[in-house]
Every structure is written in structure tokens, then in C-alpha cells.
């Protein structure tokens, strides 16, 4: 990028920085953060860690916004300085290019943050993957999706915990549930909820025919004590069974795994990652509450869409994306028409383009 191009880039980025820093409002949030710090320093605050969680979560979000605002302001100032110096020092030109690229990335992060304005967007996410009909083919596809999301989270530095994992009979998985712990994990990953379709030459077909497989991805928020989801006992069917995952001598010796079936909706969740049945029950209940909360939110959105004469683009169980590996290479999102031929990069966790485009589309639709 030559000097004039860098100047034009700086002039294009400057108003975006002003808009974003005004939205983040670091001064106001610094005052809020100061008030929270005073509360955390009060005697007895740490006596009840569960009660402290919402406030600590708020503290973290405020700190992140303040840091991001400072990064944007410093970024535009550093770019201006580097451009001035590069007039007389050719060595500074490369530094200015690097600063422009870094600032652009920070702006995109901040713009994404602005899109995540839902009440629970900042929460951790619970991601469940279930194969569709098709036996081994779909189970293998579900395992590929699990790997894709784990790789995506790893690239972001997000912590993941396997809550439930059930091996397929020949290959792949019968189902898996992971907890993703990161700021705004739910806001980002809810864009992935829906049915994912794979077209490929089957590795399990001796005749090497092309097969189409489906798997569903469910994304729900990890709820804290501020959200109450009441589940009457009569609505639950509870089964216990022997864990089939990792666990050494513990596996298949005790019935520690737990499966909850919510009778009114048919939603089924299970957990077997803990050795204790009590802990597995608590985790499974948390997952179920998140799923039910997400279902109720979607029902509300569907009613709003129906009342306004719109067709909902995220119906429960709708097909959102196709991954075509044969006869050509293409991954396409059917909601936004965003597509790429870099199929292996996507399956290795490169989902930013799809997620960003979907969030932007929903944000524009909301504003409209």
C-alpha cells in the first residue's frame, strides 16, 4: 500500500473510530467499574461466590469495553504519527501499514461487539451437536462439526469443556455437548444454530458414491441465577445409565451418566463427564434450562415475524449452511449467501466470515 492509499485508509477509518468510541463511552463505563470495585471490596462480598458471579461478569465486560476503546483511540493516533514520520523516513512506511492493519482488526472487533446487544449475548455458550438420519454418514459429519467448533474456539483462545460425548457405532458421534467459556461466546455462536448439510464422496461407501448428510447444531446460553427457568417435575423424564466416555475403571461400573427428557418439547439432554451422578444431574439441568430459554426466545421472534408478515430466517431446525466437497468445493450460508471455496479452512475452524456476515445481516434487519 503506497503513502496516498494509507492516507485514504486512515481518513476512512477515523470516523468509524469516533463512532465506536462514542458508543463504548469509556468514561461512563470507568465510573461504573469504579462502583463495582467498591462493592467487591466490601466486607462479606466473597462469602457467596455464586451471588457474586453476575457482578464479576459485569466487571469483566466493562473492562473489556474500556480496553477496546483505548485501543481504538491509541490506534488512530499511532497511525497518524507513523504517517507523518513516513514522509521523511521510508522505514516507517512498513510500520504504518502494520498499524493500519491492526487498527482495522480492532475496528471490526468493536463493530461486532456493537452487534451483540442481546440480553444474554455476553454469556458463555452451550453448543450441542446431533447427527441427522443416515447412520454412520451423519454421525461422521457430526464429529467433523464438533472438531470444527473446537478448532474455532481454540483459535479464539476460548476455553471449552466437554459436557457430553457419545461415540458412534462405527465412526463419528451420536451426539456431543460442549460448554464454551468466553466473553460474548453465546452472542457469536448463536449464529451457528441450525441444520448443517454436507455433500461429499462417502468414505464409507465402497462404490464411492456421493452422499448428503445432515447434522443439527443447538446453541443456548449458560444461565446464571438472574434468569429463572421453572421446570415442573412432571415435565421431566430422568434416566441414568453407565458412562461410555473416558473415565478409566469408572466407565461402565456405575450409573453416573444422566439423561433428561423434557416431555412437553421432546428436548433431550445428557451429561456424563463427571464421575458423580449428582454433578451430572446439575449440569444436565443447566443445559436443559438453556435450551428451553433459547426455544422460548425463538418462539417470541417467530411471533413477531409472523405479525409483521416476515418469514423467519432462523426457524427451529432450519437448514442454514451447505458444505459441498464434491463435485466442487464450496461452503455457502443460505441466510446471507456468504460463500467460500476454502472448504478445508472452514472445516478447520475459520468461521469468522460466516459469523460476522450473519450478525451484520441481523443487526441491519433489526435497525431497519
Q: Fold for 125-306+315-367, please state it.
A: Alpha-Beta Plaits (3.30.70)
Instruction: Give 233: exposed, middle or buried? Use CB within 10 Å, 0-12, 13-18, 19+.
Output: exposed
Identify whether the C-beta of residue 241 lies closer than 8 Å to the C-beta of residue 255. yes
Place of cell 476455553: 159
Q: Work out the angle at residue 295's Cα, subtended by the Cα atoms of residues 193 and 50, and round it to the nearest 5 degrees.
A: 95
The pLDDT value recorded for residue 226 is 63
Angle between helices 3-24 and 26-40 (to 10 degrees): 50
| Rounded Cα–Cα distance for residues 243 and 162 (Å) | 13
pLDDT for residue 309: 46
Looking at residue 53, what is its pLDDT? Answer: 79
The residue extents of the domains of the chain are: 3-115, 125-306+315-367
Is CATH 1.20.970.10 what the domain over 3-115 is classified as, yes or no?
no
How far apart CA 70 and CA 64 sit, in angstroms, is 10
Q: Let me know: does 318 contact 302? Beta carbons within 8 Å.
A: no
Q: How far is residue 200's CA from residue 351's CA, in Å, rounded to a whole number?
A: 20
Count helices and strands in the chain by DSSP H and E runs:
9, 11
In which order are the strands placed within the sheet that holds 257-262?
A: 236-241, 257-262, 267-271
DSSP 249-284: GGTTTS--EEEEEETTTTEEEEE-SSS-HHHHHHHH
Integer Cα distance of 105 and 224 in angstroms:
32
What is the C-alpha separation between 188 and 195, in angstroms, rounded? 17
pLDDT at residue 301, as a whole number:
56
Rounded Cα distance between 277 and 283, Å, is 10
Q: Is the pTM of this model over 0.95?
A: no
Rounded to whole angstroms, the Cα distance separating 69 from 78 reads 14
Handedness of CA 218, 368, 355, 114 (dihedral sign): negative
* pLDDT value, residue 368: 47
How big is the chain, counted in residues? 368
Query: Which set of grid coordinates corresponds to residue 338?
Result: 456468504
In angstroms, rounded to a whole number, what is the distance separating the alpha carbons of residues 28 and 319? 42
DSSP strand E in 132-170: where? Answer: 159-167
- Rounded to an integer, what distance in angstroms lies between the CA atom of residue 76 and that of residue 120? 31
pLDDT of residue 364: 60
| pLDDT tens sequence for the chain (368 residues) | 888 899 999 999 999 999 999 988 999 999 999 999 999 999 988 888 877 877 887 888 889 889 999 999 999 999 999 999 988 888 888 999 999 999 998 898 888 877 887 778 888 999 999 998 778 899 999 999 999 999 999 999 999 999 999 898 888 999 999 999 998 899 999 999 989 999 999 888 878 888 899 999 999 999 876 667 889 889 999 998 877 654 433 444 467 889 999 999 999 999 987 788 888 998 999 899 998 988 887 775 565 445 534 444 333 346 899 999 999 999 999 999 999 999 999 999 999 999 999 988 877 665 54
Place of cell 475403571: 249
Contact present, 271 and 289 (Cβ < 8 Å): no
Task: Please give the backbone phi and psi of residue 181, each rounded to the nearest 5 degrees, phi first.
Answer: -105, 110
Residues with Cβ within 8 Å of residue 81, at least 6 apart in sequence = none
Q: Do domains 3-115 and 125-306+315-367 have the same CATH topology?
A: no
Q: Hey, what's the cell of 81? A: 504519527
Residue in this structure with the C-alpha cell 473489556, named with its chain if needed: 64
Q: Which helix (H) or strand (E) holds 330?
A: strand 330-333
Amino acid at each position: 500500500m503506497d503513502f496516498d492509499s494509507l492516507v485514504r485508509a486512515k481518513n476512512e477509518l477515523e470516523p468509524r473510530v469516533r463512532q465506536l468510541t462514542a458508543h463504548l463511552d469509556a468514561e461512563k463505563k470507568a465510573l461504573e467499574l469504579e462502583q463495582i470495585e467498591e462493592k467487591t471490596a466490601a466486607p462479606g462480598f466473597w462469602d457467596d461466590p455464586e451471588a457474586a458471579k453476575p457482578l464479576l461478569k459485569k466487571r469483566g465486560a466493562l473492562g473489556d469495553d474500556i480496553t477496546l476503546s483505548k485501543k481504538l483511540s491509541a490506534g488512530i493516533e499511532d497511525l497518524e504519527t507513523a504517517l507523518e514520520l513516513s514522509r521523511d523516513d521510508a522505514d516507517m512506511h512498513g510500520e504504518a501499514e502494520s498499524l493500519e492493519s491492526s487498527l482495522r482488526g480492532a475496528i471490526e472487533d468493536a463493530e461486532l461487539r456493537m452487534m451483540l446487544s442481546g440480553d444474554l449475548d455476553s454469556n458463555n455458550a452451550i453448543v450441542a451437536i446431533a447427527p441427522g438420519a443416515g447412520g454412520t454418514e451423519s454421525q461422521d459429519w457430526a464429529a467433523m462439526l464438533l472438531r470444527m467448533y473446537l478448532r474455532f474456539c481454540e483459535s479464539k483462545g476460548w476455553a471449552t469443556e466437554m459436557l457430553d460425548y457419545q461415540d458412534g457405532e462405527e465412526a463419528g458421534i451420536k451426539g456431543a455437548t460442549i460448554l464454551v467459556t468466553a466473553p460474548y461466546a453465546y452472542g457469536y455462536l448463536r449464529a451457528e444454530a441450525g441444520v448443517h448439510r454436507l455433500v461429499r464422496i462417502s468414505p464409507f461407501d465402497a462404490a464411492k458414491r456421493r452422499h448428503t448428510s445432515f447434522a443439527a447444531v443447538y446453541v443456548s446460553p449458560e444461565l446464571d441465577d438472574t434468569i429463572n427457568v421453572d421446570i415442573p417435575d412432571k415435565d421431566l423424564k430422568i434416566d441414568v445409565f453407565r458412562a461410555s466416555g473416558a473415565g478409566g475403571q469408572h466407565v461402565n461400573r456405575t450409573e453416573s451418566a444422566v439423561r433428561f427428557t423434557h416431555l412437553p418439547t421432546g428436548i433431550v439432554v445428557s451429561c456424563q463427564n463427571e464421575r458423580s451422578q449428582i454433578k451430572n444431574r446439575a449440569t444436565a439441568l443447566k443445559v436443559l434450562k438453556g435450551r428451553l430459554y433459547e426455544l422460548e426466545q425463538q418462539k417470541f421472534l417467530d411471533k413477531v415475524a409472523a405479525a409483521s408478515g416476515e418469514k423467519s430466517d432462523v426457524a427451529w431446525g432450519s437448514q442454514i449452511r451447505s458444505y459441498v466437497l464434491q463435485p466442487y468445493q464450496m461452503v455457502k450460508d443460505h441466510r446471507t449467501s456468504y460463500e467460500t471455496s476454502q472448504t478445508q479452512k472452514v472445516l478447520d475452524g475459520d468461521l469468522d466470515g460466516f459469523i460476522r456476515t450473519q450478525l451484520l445481516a441481523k443487526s441491519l434487519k433489526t435497525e431497519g
